[in-house]
Each structure stands twice: as structure tokens, then as C-alpha cells.
Amino acid sequence: MTDEPVEGFAGLGLRAELLSALSTLGYEEPTPIQREAIPPLVEGHDLVGQAATGTGKTAAFALPVLQGLTPGAADDAGPQALVLVPTRELAEQVSQAVHRYGRELGVRVLPVYGGQPIGRQLQALRRGVDVVVGTPGRVLDHIERETLRLGDVRTVVLDEADEMLDMGFAEDIEAILAETPATRQTVLFSATMPPRIDSIARRHLNDPVRITMGRKAVSPDELPLIRQSAYLVARPHRTAALGRILDVEAPAAAIVFCRTREEVDQVTEALNGRGYRAEALHGGMSQDQRDRVMGRLRGGSTELLVATDVAARGLDVEQLTHVINYNVPAAPEAYVHRIGRVGRAGREGCAITLAEPREQRMLKAIERLTGQRITLEKLPTVTDLRARRLELTRAALQSSLETDDLERYRVVLDSLTGEFDVEDIALAAVRLLHEAAGGDADEKEIPSPEPPAERPGRAGRAAPGKARGSQSGVTRLFFGIGRQAGLRPQDLVGAIAGESGLSAREIGAIQITDRFSLVEVPESAADTVIMAMRRSTIRGRRPTVRRERFTPR
Ligand code: AMP
């Protein structure tokens, strides 16, 4: 495995320490949002970007921030960059990302959010930090205590701006921006662009570059006719889920797409550990090495390829039956490109995508682009898996009975029939075969994804243990109104039932926090409720109503 330079990123004008960090992380190519956003940000422009989670937007703003940083500037100076995010999970994630990308620069980054003991934050702030990643409430708190000075900030990033507004952080954001120098660079990312976001951009950004990952629809004949499905699975269970799906699907030849080389190596190892003949294919390999791997796939001695997009470029294998996305590709176009590798010439094909709950929006974007449905499936249970393995054992026996010459084994059978019943002997043979093929390896159930445990102001979660998400037919809706507006559960039930025609019985768990509320409704009625609520008011207000977006970790 050679360590080629990260050409794609080098072309974006990033400094050597960052390129080297990206190479270590196994990033081979910038994602579309990174390709478009990094150069103008490095040049110092303001920017408004429409991009959802999973597109690589964190690196799109974090790399330019790191590019312009003077690490370890005077200890008494304030941070040089401030990233505002809506939730504590995101504060942790973004802060970790900045730390990973900036490792070789020795960057000091601090996540700052409510619910965390303030003492630790104070200590770190006193010692000096280069980048602060925080939720607006807690950042403002520090400004008011005069423990955070923003006079040296060169770049402010508003990440997931629509979420922050929905959570009622608009005023906090204004107050924070007022503390930063007017000459700062301002970057705003948002999954959606409602007028309120536009208004913030107009008031606080200076002639920003605008990036929309706008997409033209794909014409139907560019798409193969294949089965497309997706599984929602939380990150820690992804490898186990992949193994289980492969066990049930039993593909003749499949390619598993990963984002990074690191991931390719890790997945290959896990699959080999599970008894598959899997081979890694990534951009760091020479053409010769790749050709050999491809030869083994064509010859049938390898059944699974695990690859990055770059490595799979130009790959053409007739036998492929399955394309599996280990995570949602960063751009819908990449999805179309990947699945184009199966279902050629009318052959059977199948595209399977593993998605974290927070990446569901990306699945929707792909559906819009292709005009085809991606069916959400339930992960196979341990019972499904056992049944499937028994079926495979049965099929193997049937095939052997039909095609093999079994005479040479008769001597074994004859020596046993004196003592044992023939049926019992057959059962013992089945058991041995079954176990040799992996049998009922001890498997635990993989839990369905849980909603995030915390958000600022959220007190626990409603209806613990109750299945939710479109798989179970129940959807949680977010209402941007809460206790502070005097909201009570009966207001929500009254408004929903009155406006959408849903009966009160069909409304599930309701959770009201200070600033927002979550309400469970049947998935089939979710759109009707959302549309109806847009036309009406609750306690004299017209709050945001939309599907709840999970951001679990
Ligand atoms: P984000 O949309 O920022 O949440 O990023 C989604 C995931 O993609 C994260 O796990 C990143 O580590 C990963 N990622 C971001 N950019 C790239 C890239 N250019 N190549 C491979 N993986 C990436």
C-alpha cells in the first residue's frame, strides 16, 4: 500500500500539515461541497452553503479555518475561530473533527455546551484555545461572565443554522455576532434555506459566495432497474449490521463502498473475520495490485470487494449482483454512479445502503434525484439469521444430493447403520455441515436506532422503549414552540386534531421542553399534519413544524 499524496485536496490549496492529516485519515478525494467551498473560504470570502449532514460539510469549513490559524498564538489572546452549533452532540463531533484535521498543527480546540461542568471549560479557556465550538446558549453565558473574549476571532461559522433558529437561538446568535470584530469572515451552513436564514445571511454576511448542492433530475434510462433498500443503524453497530445483511443476502459478488481507506481496511478485516473472502481496493494501491484483486473477483476466489469511490473508478465487473454503501455517499450523484455498476443488461441487481439516522435527509435527496424509492428495511433479527442459515444448509445438501457422486461415503454410513438410525445419522451430518459453514454463531440483536439522548433543554425522552421512525409507522414531529410560550399538551392535541383531521387517539407521545415540542403521529399522516399546521396557529403563534431530525451518537 503506497501513501500517495491526496491530490484532490492538494488542488484546493491546503497547507501540508492538513494534507498529511487527511492522508492519514484515508480521505482520498474532496466531496462536492468541499471542492466548492474550500477555495473561496481559504481566500477569505464569506459563504452560505446549503448542505446536510453526511455531505462532508464539517471538513468544508474546518479545513479553511485551520488553514488560516496561527496555532498557539499568544496565550492571553482569545480564540481565532468560533463555530456555533445547535446541539451538544454536534459540538463534540465538530470539535473532534477540528482536532483530527488540525493534529499536526497542534491546534487547541474546546467544545463548550450546557450541561457540562463549567469549571473544566473555564480552565481550558484560561489556558488559551484556538477554536471554540459551542452551542449559542453556553457561548453567550461565557461572554457574559467575561470568560470568553471574541475580539480576536477571525472566522465565525454558523453550522446547521436552520436547526439553531428552530431551537430559538436567533437572539443568542445575534448577541454573539455583535461581540466579534466586524472584519471577521462569516460562514453559514444550513440543510434548508427558509427566508429567516436568508435574512441572517443578508444582515451578517458580506457579499457571500453561495453554494447549493443543486441537482438536476437523472433521466430514467441512466438508472438500472434494481432493488434499492436502506437500513438505519447507529454507528457502533454498522459493521455487525453489514455482516448480517450479507449473510441474509448471500450475494454472489458484491462491492462494499466506504468513505475512507481506513474504513476500507477495517471493514475488510471484519468481513474476513466473519468468514467472507473479502479484498480491499483503494486509491493507495498500484494498478498492478488492483488488477490482481479484480482478477480474483472475476475468477470467483474473492466474493466481496471493499472499495472507495476513487479505487472503484472504471471498475467493470459483469458478475456484480450487489452494491452496498457502508454509509450514505456524500453526494447523490455518487450514489447513482455506484449503483450503475449492477443490474447491467437486465441482470438482477440490488443496492443496499446503511445510513445513520441523521443521514436520512441524504436518502431523501437521493430519492429526489433518481425519482426512485429507497425502501427502508428492518435489520435481520437473530431468528431471521438462523432461518436463513438453515435454508442455506438445506440448499447446499440438496445441491449435493442432486449433483455429487456420494458412493465413496457409503462406507461411513454402513459402519454406522448397525448401531444408529439412518435419520439420526443424517441429522448429525446436517449439524456438522451447518456448523462448518458458520452455523449459529452467537449473535446478539442489533438495537434499532435511538433518538438523541440530549439537546439543550430537553428532559429525557418520551415513551421510552417505544419503536419509532417510519419503519414502525410512527414519526416524531418537531414543533418550534414550547413551555416558554405557555404550551400545554392539550394545545398540541387540539391543534393537530382540529386542523389535520387526525383523531386524538392517533396522536402518540408528546414531549414539551422550554423551547420546542416533539409529537408522535402515524407516519402515513405526517405530511398532512405538517401541511395543516403550516396553515394554522398554536397559542397565537405559527411555529416551525417538521419531521424530527435525529442526531444520535
Ligand atoms: P459531515 O457531513 O461533515 O458530517 O461528514 C460525514 C462523514 O464523512 C464524516 O464521518 C467525515 O469523516 C467523512 N468525510 C468528510 N469528508 C470526507 C472525504 N473527503 N473523504 C472521505 N470521508 C469524508
pLDDT at 451 over 80: no
Instruction: Give the residue, out of 260, 264, 362, with the most ligand 1 atoms within 8 A of its beta carbon, to mutate for a pocket test.
Output: 260
Indicate the range of 88-97, 181-190, 397-406, 451-460 predicted with least confidence: 451-460
User: What is the rounded CA–CA span in Å between residue 284 and residue 26?
Assistant: 9
Report how far ligand 1's centroid is from the alpha carbon of 418 (Å): 65
Most confident of 203-217, 255-269, 508-522: 255-269
Which pLDDT tens digit goes with each residue over 295-349?
Answer: 888 888 888 999 998 888 777 777 788 999 999 998 888 898 898 888 766 566 8
**105-161 pLDDT tens trace:** 999 999 999 888 888 889 999 999 999 999 999 999 999 999 999 999 999 999 999
Res 470: pLDDT: 38
Quote the pLDDT of residue 471: 41
Residue having the nearest C-alpha atom to atom 14 of ligand 1:
56
Other beta carbons within 10 angstroms of residue 266's beta carbon come to 17
For residue 53, how far is its CA from the centre of ligand 1 (angstroms)?
Answer: 9
Q: How many CA atoms lie within 13 A of 514 on its CB side?
A: 8
- Whether 8 shows a pLDDT value over 50: the answer reads yes
Find the radius of gyration of the CA atoms of the chain: 27
CB of 96 closer than 8 Å to CB of 370: no
For 15, residues 6+ apart whose C-beta sits below 8 A from its C-beta are 67
170-193 mean pLDDT: 95
**Residue listed under C-alpha cell 454463531:** 441
Please give the pLDDT value at position 392: 83
How many whole angstroms from 527 Cα to the centroid of ligand 1? 31
* CA separation for the pair 45, 7 (Å, rounded): 24
State the chain's maximal CA–CA distance in angstroms.
Answer: 95
Burial class (CB in 10 A: 0-12, 13-18, 19+), 119: exposed
pLDDT category, 514, cuts 50, 70, 90? confident
Confidence of residue 388 (pLDDT cuts 50, 70, 90): confident
Q: What is the mean pLDDT of residues 267-275?
A: 90
Q: What is the mean pLDDT of residues 380-387?
A: 84
Question: ∠ CA(301), CA(264), CA(227), 5° rounding?
Answer: 70
The answer to whether 468 and 474 have CB atoms below 8 angstroms apart is yes
Phi, psi of 260 (to 5 degrees): -130, 165
Please identify, by atom number, the ligand 1 atom nearest to the C-alpha of residue 31.
Answer: 19
SS3 311: coil
* Report for 3-12, 217-226, 457-466, 541-550: range of highest mean pLDDT: 541-550
Atom of ligand 1 nearest to the CA of 51: 2
Return d(Cα 546, Cα 353) in angstroms, integer: 24
| Three-class DSSP category at 22 | helix
Q: Is the pLDDT of residue 222 over 80?
A: no
209 band by pLDDT with thresholds 50, 70 and 90? very high
Confidence of residue 75 (pLDDT cuts 50, 70, 90): low
Q: CA-to-CA distance for 407 and 420, rounded, in angstroms?
A: 19
**Within 6 Å (CB) of ligand 1, which residues are found?**
27, 29-31, 34, 53-59, 259-260
Q: How far is CA 506 from the centre of its chain?
A: 31
pLDDT tens digits along 19-56: 999 999 999 899 999 999 999 999 999 999 998 888 89
pTM of the model as a whole: 0.69
Query: What pLDDT does 86 receive?
Result: 93
The overall average pLDDT reported for the chain is 85
Tell me whether strands 254-257 and 322-325 are parallel, antiparallel or unpaired.
parallel
For the segment 427-445, the average pLDDT, to the nearest whole number, is 80
Closest CA to 102 of 124, 71, 79: 71
The residue whose CA is least distant from atom 13 of ligand 1 is 56
**What is the residue with the minimal CA distance to atom 11 of ligand 1?**
56
Is the predicted pLDDT of residue 255 greater than 90, yes or no? yes
- pLDDT 10s digits, 234-251: 988 999 999 999 988 888
Is the four-CA dihedral 158, 160, 165, 167 of positive or negative sign? negative
Those residues with Cβ within 8 angstroms of residue 98's Cβ, 6 or more apart along the chain or in another chain: 62, 65, 66, 83, 107, 109, 131, 133
Higher pLDDT, 432 or 76: 432
The percentage of the chain sitting over the pLDDT mark of 70, rounded to a whole number, equals 89
pLDDT at 83 over 60: yes
pLDDT value at position 550? 52
Domains of the chain, CATH where assigned: 4-212 (3.40.50.300), 220-380 (3.40.50.300), 383-436 (no CATH), 458-547 (3.30.70.330)
Indicate the range of 99-103, 466-470, 526-530 predicted with least confidence. 466-470
Residue nearest to atom 15 of ligand 1 (CA): 56
What is the pLDDT at residue 2? 42
Question: Comparing 39-53, 132-146, 415-429, 513-527, which segment has the lowest mean pLDDT?
Answer: 513-527
Residues 258-284: what's their mean pLDDT?
Answer: 90
Nearest to 155 by CA among 84, 95, 80, 66: 80
Pocket test for ligand 1, best of 96, 259, 361 (most atoms within 8 A of CB): 259
Torsion angle in degrees (nearest 10) through CA of 302, 307, 312, 315: 10
pLDDT category at 374 given cuts 50, 70, 90 is very high
- Is there a contact between 121 and 142 (Cβ–Cβ < 8 Å)? yes
Contacts of 160 (CB under 8 A, 6+ apart): 53, 85, 86, 90, 189, 190, 191
Residue 293 has pLDDT above 50, yes or no: yes
* Alpha carbon nearest to ligand 1 atom 5, residue: 56
- Counting atoms of ligand 1 from 1, which one is nearest the CA of 9? 19
The predicted structure's pLDDT at residue 45: 97
Instruction: Check whether 197 has a pLDDT greater than 80.
Output: yes
Question: How distant, in Å, are the alpha carbons of 92, 98, 471 from that of 109?
Answer: 10, 7, 39
- Residue 43 phi, psi dihedral angles, 5° rounding: -75, -10
What pLDDT, on the 0 to 100 scale, is given for residue 226? 84
521 grid coordinates: 403521529
